[in-house]
């Protein structure tokens, strides 16, 4: 009897703790979601990060200002890393963030002349490091992306609203 009571309390506690932070924005695969602030976009990305186990390639699509870099910030935070280290690697091509789970390799193909520039910085090797590789403007290097890349599409709906589409 006492054991049964203990177990039911444990179940309640688990349910309660799961439904506390950011519950308004659970990550739902296959569902289009609209966020209304950069913070909400980050929260969504943090939730999404929980399904990553290392070795994935995430292809981010969307125009300038769509929220791709904000998304990466939330992803790094979701993995326990320092989101303030996240900046757009538009000029340096690659930023690396260490997290307690695995490294995040953040690339931006906006200014690359072509896929060969990405190859030259060792893109193929990055995919084999056991970390997560995130590529902004992924369609510019489409031929280099692995077939199992996770494509996420972001677009601006209004000044503060962003539409985010997960596979």
Q: Of these, 35, 46, 95, 99, which contacts ligand ADP (CB under 6 A)?
A: 35
**What is the closest distance, in whole angstroms, from the C-beta atom of residue 35 to Mg ion in the complex?**
16
How would you classify the pairing of strands 150-156 and 94-97?
A: unpaired
Structure token digits, residue 91 = 């000029």
Q: Which two tokens stand for residue 25?
A: 């924005």
CA gap 106, 100 in Å, rounded: 16
- The verdict on 64 binding ligand ADP (CB under 6 A) reads yes
Query: In 3D, which of 47, 46, 40 has the Cα closest to residue 77?
Result: 46
Please identify, using beta-carbon distances, which residue of 66 and 150 lies nearer to ligand ADP: 66
Please tell me whether residue 131 binds ligand ADP under the rule CB under 6 A: no
Half-sphere exposure (CA, 13 Å, Cβ side) for 120? 8
Least separation in angstroms between CB 79 and ligand ADP: 18
| Between 109 and 149, CB nearer to ligand ADP | 109
Choice from 26, 54, 65, 146 touching ligand ADP (CB under 6 A):
65
* Per-residue binding letters, 7-46, with Mg ion (x by CB under 5 A): ----------------------------------------
Q: Are 25 and 35 in contact (CB under 8 A)?
A: yes
Closest CA to 74 of 65, 83, 63: 83
Q: Is 41 in the site for ligand ADP (CB under 6 A)?
A: yes
User: Residue 56 class from Cβ within 10 Å (0-12 exposed, 13-18 middle, 19+ buried)?
Assistant: middle
Question: Is 67 or 78 the residue whose CB approaches Mg ion more closely?
Answer: 67
Residues that bind Mg ion (CB under 5 A): 68-69, 88, 136
Residues that bind ligand ADP (CB under 6 A): 35-38, 40-41, 62, 64-70, 88, 136, 160-162
């Amino acid at each position: 009897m006492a054991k049964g009571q203990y177990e039911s309390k444990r179940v309640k506690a688990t349910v309660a703790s799961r439904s506390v932070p950011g519950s308004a924005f659970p990550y739902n695969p296959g569902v289009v979601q609209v966020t209304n602030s950069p913070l909400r976009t980050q929260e969504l990305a943090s939730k999404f990060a929980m399904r990553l186990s290392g070795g994935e390639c995430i292809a981010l699509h969307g125009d300038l200002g769509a929220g791709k870099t904000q998304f990466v910030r939330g992803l790094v935070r979701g993995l326990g890393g320092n989101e303030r280290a996240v900046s757009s690697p538009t000029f340096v091509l690659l930023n690396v963030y260490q997290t307690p789970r695995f490294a995040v390799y953040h690339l931006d193909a906006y200014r690359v002349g072509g896929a060969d520039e990405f190859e030259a910085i060792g893109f193929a090797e990055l995919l084999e490091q056991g970390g997560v590789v995130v590529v902004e403007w992924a369609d510019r290097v489409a031929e280099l992306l692995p077939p199992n890349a996770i494509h996420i599409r972001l677009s601006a709906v209004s000044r503060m609203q962003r539409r985010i589409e997960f596979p």
